[in-house]
Structure 1
Amino acid sequence: MLYIAAGHDGTLHDLSRRLPATGSDGEYLEYAYDGGLVTSKAGRDIYDQILAGAPYERCPLCGRGLVTTLDHQLPKSEYPILAITPANLVPACSKCNQKKSSKDPADESEMLIHPYFDKLGTNRWLGARIHEGSPARAEYFVKTSDDWDTIFSDRVVRHFTFFDLRRQYALAAAGKLATDRMQHSGLLRRAGSDELRLHLQEAAAGYWSTAGNTWEGALCNALAESDWYLNGGMNEI
């Protein structure tokens, strides 16, 4: 299939010139999604099966939200022929779906990450650093991998920026820092900084082994590397 081949080749941005023209049938193809896949019972069963493909029901676009909808990676308004193509339907949270809207990539550099085809590898590419003080905060960033070419690195950064993941993750981390403060303070008092560091490293490894690059795992790594935090910084939060 053209779409799947283009997904593997990284040429989805150039797919429009290879697809057959839909002409006046475009609105009927869009209705096949809205009136068939979304609202009919048989279609909804398929819709829900695609939704269920998201690990732990997390949105693969932001890594935080609960999947409640399907996003057209290439918008159905521009590509009605792909309106019900399963590979073009990505489980997403409503916030990411609304943010992405009907944006059509003009070239390869504008392509957001496609969860089905773009493999980020096994490296821990999501990084965080702790800004010490009261209140402390975590800052998130992309650590580009040597396995990525320049264009792919730019696309990952663009995806990170487009969905405002720096801010989203920082806000989530602020809540986790506050709720974990007493537990970490107690562990430091009872067992010392080395034990607290080990606890944080093991927590980070747990997040990594189950879900890969997550904001929680990156936060635990950053805390494990912060001498300020390991020596009582959590008491200033």
Structure 2
Amino acid sequence: MERARGNLVAAEIEYLQRGPLKTLYEIVEAGDVGPGLVSAGEMEGLYTGTFSRKGTQSRDLYDKIKQGAPNGICPLCGSQQIKTLDHYLAKTKHPALTITPINLVPSCSDCNKAKGDSQAAADSDQHLHPYFDDVDDGEWLFATVVEASPPSLNYRADPPAAWPAPKRERVIAHFENLAHGFLFAALSSDQLPSMRTRLRRLLAAGGAQAVRNHLSEDLEGHKEERRNSWQIAMYAALVASDWYCGGGFDA
């Protein structure tokens, strides 16, 4: 490891240079760290046996990176609790980045598993990187009410047309590849039943407009926290649905 120090530092420097340029996909895959210095298997052992292992000194750094995610929520989906660290560039393909902090992203188990060790071939294929990408500068997550019994929602990613094409494509690819549409639909279907009792009372007392006003207030409350989330998309869709506000919530 001491003899490979220069290779590890060089790999981190290249990563830090390419991150803001959205060209991490251009980092060449490698089988080991340096010619015959440290193998990918040895780096894997270092990560699992020392870096992420409970009770070791380096585990403090592992935990510190996990705790860096606001409110302990996965930055890849914005909805589930942090459970692990994801290697943005897979350690199997980039062993020199196995313990590089900037390559380690706090993640929920589902996003980590769905992302796997895939390697992007172009800018538009890359998953979003929480340390380098800002995709909250426009609304891109939307939902539509499914008028059925029970009611549910369909989610879609539709970034602003004014965004550069690669940015739009990356948001859509991230949403689809990590199956966030299914995740968000499940989360909203779990929440909708808990809203029925309150909405029934509002409908009986003030009609559909009272229901819409209440949902609009909840929508504005969520917007104060962030611009895109499954809750914001859900409430926006419910507010826009005459069927739902008119009693569809009780279907």
Q: 1:187 to 1:148 in 2, by over 3 A?
A: same
TM-score by length of 1: 0.91
User: What secondary structure does 2:154 align onto?
Assistant: strand
Distance 1:169 1:17 in 2: 33
Question: Could you tell me whether the CA contact under 8 Å between 1:59 and 1:67 is conserved in 2?
Answer: yes
Which residue pairs with 2:43 in the alignment?
Answer: 29
Structure 2 residue 28 is matched with structure 1 residue 13: no
Which residue pairs with 1:53 in the alignment?
Answer: 68
Q: Which amino acid aligns with 2:34?
A: T
Structure 2 residue 18 is matched with structure 1 residue 3: no
Structure 2: which 5+ runs fail to align?
A: 1-12
Which residue pairs with 1:67 in the alignment?
Answer: 82
Distance 1:57 1:147 in 2: 32
Pairwise mapping of residues 110-149 of structure 1 onto structure 2 (< 5 A)? Answer: 110-149=125-164
Q: Which amino acid aligns with 1:121?
A: D
Q: Which amino acid aligns with 2:24?
A: L
More helix by share: 1
Structure 1: which 5+ runs fail to align?
A: none
User: What secondary structure does 1:192 align onto?
Assistant: helix
Which residue pairs with 2:10 in the alignment?
Answer: none
Which residue pairs with 1:102 in the alignment?
Answer: 117
Compute the RMSD of aligned alpha carbons: 2.0
Deviation at 1:17, TM superposition (A): 7.3
Deviation at 1:163, TM superposition (A): 1.1
Question: Could you tell me whether the CA contact under 8 Å between 2:86 and 2:106 is conserved in 1?
Answer: yes
Q: Please say which of residues 83-92 and 172-181 is displaced more in the overlay.
A: 172-181
Q: 1:2 to 1:97 in 2, by over 3 A?
A: same
Deviation at 1:106, TM superposition (A): 2.2
User: What secondary structure does 2:39 align onto?
Assistant: helix
Deviation at 1:9, TM superposition (A): 0.2
Q: Which amino acid aligns with 1:32?
A: L
Deviation at 1:60, TM superposition (A): 1.5
Distance 1:90 1:146 in 2: 29
Distance 1:17 1:168 in 2: 31
1:1-27, CA deviations, whole angstroms, 9 ceiling, x for partnerless residues? 221221100000002279x95233133
1:52-101, CA deviations, whole angstroms, 9 ceiling, x for partnerless residues? 11122111122222111000000011111111111110001112212222
Pairwise mapping of residues 202-217 of structure 1 onto structure 2 (< 5 A)? Answer: 202-217=217-232
Question: Could you tell me whether the CA contact under 8 Å between 1:22 and 1:80 is conserved in 2?
Answer: no
